[in-house]
Amino acid sequence: MTQVCVLGAGAWGTALAKVLADKGNPTRLWALSEEVAATINDGHENRRYLPGHKLPDTLSATTSLENALDGAELVVLVVPSHAMREVMAKAKPLLPPNALVCSASKGIENESLMLMSQVLVDVLGKDLEPRLTYLSGPSFAKEVALGMPTAVVVAGSNEAATHTVQHAFASDRLRVYSSDDVVGVEIGGALKNVIAIAAGVIDGLGLGHNSRAGMITRGLFEIGQLADKLGGHPLTVAGLSGMGDLVLTCTGDLSRNRTVGVELGKGRGLADILAGLGHVAEGVKTAKSAYDLSVRENVLMPITHEVYGVLYEGKDPKQAVVDIMTRELRAER
């Protein structure tokens, strides 16, 4: 058994904590809310973020970062990307000396334009990099919690640490692949949320399957372009953290980012949409980071630019589609 700490008690954090606890690992889930922690400890259910899913006795919750991290051999990070730096700065002095760390957060920091891997190295130090890993892939929290067969990937710079984390998560319901391409895995996991907003706009406007398929395909091309520029491998983008997660997030009704896009396509305002969502939609913040990265790196990413325009400049979604379709014609590759 491995003593596990999961930081972040949203739907995804709770689902991953359940996976690890179901394998018999004593697992502590860190929550910001006393109410969330109480429902987990008293009723074995996260009624706010993952209602209806019975949590095992091996899983407990706490609002104390110190208690959550005490003795942890595996620390799983599932906080929103914009909170990663702040949370890990507080966690740094509390991290057990040999604990492995796995980030399951998907996003790019707005101010610095750093991937989560870069944020973690910046906060925790270069010496900890061999102990850092990153989980991504097509995985809705509710389906993982239900035990529906799911495939994901864990990436890391150290093969031994990556394989240890791979086996920690793996079960007969969760197939886990390994990778040494941290950049490719992270870019795929972050940018698919931006493209999912675009795909949702297509559905909200009622533009049909052809439009959505084209958006997904060209969105995958944009993800590949940026990943390649930042040092990722093109085949990684064709894998679980790229194409797999993109297809899921652009087509599944459980996708919060797609939901944001659908409602934008129907004419609702962004503030109103986010107020009623109840969960974090990472693609909204990542759209700004991805836009700024594309400008900094001189990478052509027209879909990302149009999503940025709709979210941050008040552009009409219908006009954004027109502008995508009437761009200068060019070769596919």
Question: Which residues are marked as active site?
Answer: 192
DSSP-assigned states of every residue in 142-154 = HHHHTT--EEEEE
Confirm if 102 and 75 have CB atoms less than 8 A apart: yes
The label of the residue with tokens 């491998």 reads: 233
Q: Which residues lie below 8 Å from residue 304, measured CB to CB, with a gap of 6+?
A: 191, 194, 195, 222, 287, 290, 291, 294
The secondary structure of 195-262, three-state, reads: HHHHHHHHHHCCCHHHHHHHHHHHHHHHHHHHHHHCCCCHHHHCCHHHHHHHHHHHHCCCCHHHHHHH
Structure tokens at 166: 């791979």
**Euclidean distance between CA atoms 81 and 28, whole angstroms:** 21
Confirm if 50 and 145 have CB atoms less than 8 A apart: yes
Among residues 212, 222, 207, 218, the alpha carbon closest in space to that of 286 is found at 222
Confirm if 101 and 161 have CB atoms less than 8 A apart: no
Q: What is the sign of the dihedral through the CA atoms of 33, 91, 290 and 252?
A: negative
Structure tokens at 176: 């886990």
Q: What are phi and psi of 315, to 5 degrees?
A: -70, 140
Structure tokens at 315: 């552009």
Host H or E run for residue 75: strand 74-77
| Residue 208 CB burial class (10 angstroms; 0-12, 13-18, ≥19) | exposed
